[in-house]
Structure 1
Amino acid sequence: MFAAERIRIIKNYLLKEHKVSVAKLSELLNVTEVTIRRDLEKLEKEGFLERTHGGAILKEYTEEEHAEEFVDIYKTQRQEIAETVFHLVSDNDMIMITEGLTNVYIARKLTQKSNLTVLTNDMRVAMEFANSPVNNVILLGGDVKEYAVYGQLAENNMQYFSVKHLFVEVDAINKQAGIMVSSISKASFIQKAIRSAEIVSVVCLANCFGEKSLYRVGSVDLADKIITNSALDDSYKDYLFGLNIQVYTSVDIYEE
């Protein structure tokens, strides 16, 4: 992979997550930690990030801010998506929510429902529902990677469950490359999760349409529904309609 492509992926990751470890980027990009440190040094000189012990944080993001409240530049967009999902889930449903920050916002909103059974591999999602006594949450076991569990154990555990609605958060949707995510663990997990669901809804921020990430989950038409925010370009709406995929945006919840 060329240096320019690595830099682009690192920037996109930090814009979403605000902080990252050298080890995580080394695994994500399949290069040595020495190479990652050089990339981070270059981005620090550009003023994009600040290097920390073992990683880096986005320049505008500080540990003090993190301690008080998570700073999210896409907060409004994620809240719009969460509001849309709220109208697609009914009390008593059994659903699955995969790892992702937008899915955490979705979980927070869905705690207003009653008697949901929620299966997840994201510890943040599980914690949202752990404080909701009127709903039930099941956290899959597996290898812990940052905020979520992955690996063979997590995938094996999924075979014992069948859910009505699966909400999969992805990092990019591209007409040529399809649905993409940032790690092979995430791609493999999503591919297995899809087999356990009646309805597959793909969650993706509008600004990630037309972008690319590192690993391909599959073609766009593996989704029954795609849920995004109101900034989605009309050309992508037309493209998805042509594939007979239901598209939900925050402008019109029932836009199909």
Structure 2
Amino acid sequence: MFKAARIQKIKEIIANRTQIDVQTLSDILEVSNVTIRNDLEQLEKEGFIYRTHGGAILRENTGTTTVSGIGYGSSLSFDFSVDILHIANLAAEYIEENEWIFLGGGCTCCAIAKALISRRVNLVTNNILAALILSENPKANVVLTGGVTYNDRFPFLSGDLAINNINGLCFQKTFFGVSGIDLKYGYSVPSAVEYNLFQSLRERSKELIIVADASKCDKSAFLSLGTLDSVDTLISSSDLPDEYKAYYYEKNIKLFLDYDISPAQVSGGEF
């Protein structure tokens, strides 16, 4: 296949899927990873995609990408901002093979599920949409917590049953979204069911990771989960305010911002 035809095919694939990894493109087009990376570099220069560590995301004029028609004839449709997609890809890169992770509720955790669509992964989640997304990945081992359904825009499971069902489990990493990040009030969520689930996960996770874009900064919701140094890691967007970056540096908390740097390549800090 000539280069022009190959690039056109890559455009069609990414336009359809919105994001893809280098290895998948290499397998589909039967060319080397080096060739695909060169093609993606050209498409990034043309403004068609953003390159990520190991893949690419469709660049759209609206700044959003949509998950729709997920499994079982569903008509669910949700928009993910470019920042959230970048955070999701960082989070996915941070997950190592054979780890058991917990994936929380909300938009960003749904985007993480989307970033894991072709990965071999073991996870427990209370995020109904994330479980639906990953139901299309035959290499994903997904366990739902059970519990009461809360009909948020991104419906999730919680309550006593969910908490009881994770008793005795151990997670290498927990990814949890929040509604507010504030230097004074810490991380916060709007409901007691989210608060209670988080406190339970705190006791069962080797690493607690907050995933939230910079728009959550200087905001607080009803219930504080703890101070900013009460978790191990923050994955956020590159426009995180400087005073927050300084705080994480001072407290020696892992901070990952730049979407094209893999957290697996570094031991901490912001790039």
1:205/1:238 CA distance change after superposition, 3 Å: same
Q: Distance in 2 between matches of 1:188 and 1:166?
A: 15
**Residue equivalent to 2:109:** 103
Task: Write the mapping of 1:2-151 to structure 2, written as runs, cut at 5 A.
Answer: 70=77, 72=79, 75-114=81-120, 116-146=121-151, 147-151=155-159
What one-letter code is carried by the residue in structure 1 that aligns with 2:77? F
Among 232, 242, 250, the alignment partner of 2:240 is: 232
TM-superposed deviation, 1:112: 2.2
**Residue equivalent to 1:187:** 195
Asked if 2 retains the 8 angstrom alpha-carbon contact of 1:179 and 1:216, the reply is yes
Q: TM-score, normalised by structure 2?
A: 0.66
What one-letter code is carried by the residue in structure 2 that aligns with 1:239? Y
SS at match of 2:252: coil
What one-letter code is carried by the residue in structure 2 that aligns with 1:194? R
TM-superposed deviation, 1:111: 2.3
TM-superposed deviation, 1:71: 5.1
Q: Distance in 2 between matches of 1:111 and 1:177?
A: 35
Query: Identity over the aligned pairs, expressed in percent?
Result: 24
Deviation above 4 Å: which 4+ runs of structure 1? 65-69, 251-255
**Residue equivalent to 2:249:** 241
**Residue equivalent to 1:206:** 214
Q: Distance in 1 between matches of 2:109 and 2:161?
A: 22
Q: Distance in 2 between matches of 1:222 and 1:88?
A: 20
1:131/1:102 CA distance change after superposition, 3 Å: same
Question: What does the per-residue CA deviation read over 1:184-220, in whole Å, with 9 as the maximum and x for residues that have no partner?
Answer: 1111111111211111111111111111111111121
What one-letter code is carried by the residue in structure 1 that aligns with 2:217? F
Q: Distance in 1 between matches of 2:117 and 2:206?
A: 22
Q: Distance in 2 between matches of 1:120 and 1:71?
A: 19
**Residue equivalent to 1:18:** none
SS at match of 1:197: coil
Question: What does the per-residue CA deviation read over 1:136-175, in whole Å, with 9 as the maximum and x for residues that have no partner?
Answer: 0000111111111111111111113111111011111111
Q: Higher mean Cα deviation, 210-219 or 243-252? A: 243-252
TM-superposed deviation, 1:69: 6.9
Q: How many residues align?
A: 190
TM-superposed deviation, 1:68: 6.8
Q: Distance in 2 between matches of 1:124 and 1:142?
A: 15
Q: TM-score, normalised by structure 1?
A: 0.70
Asked if 2 retains the 8 angstrom alpha-carbon contact of 1:203 and 1:228, the reply is yes
Give me the CA root mean square deviation.
2.0
SS at match of 2:172: strand
1:177/1:183 CA distance change after superposition, 3 Å: same
Asked if 2 retains the 8 angstrom alpha-carbon contact of 1:90 and 1:113, the reply is no
SS at match of 2:102: strand
What one-letter code is carried by the residue in structure 1 that aligns with 2:94? L
Asked if 2 retains the 8 angstrom alpha-carbon contact of 1:188 and 1:217, the reply is no
Are 1:155 and 2:160 counterparts?
A: no
**Residue equivalent to 1:3:** none
Q: Distance in 1 between matches of 2:124 and 2:202?
A: 13
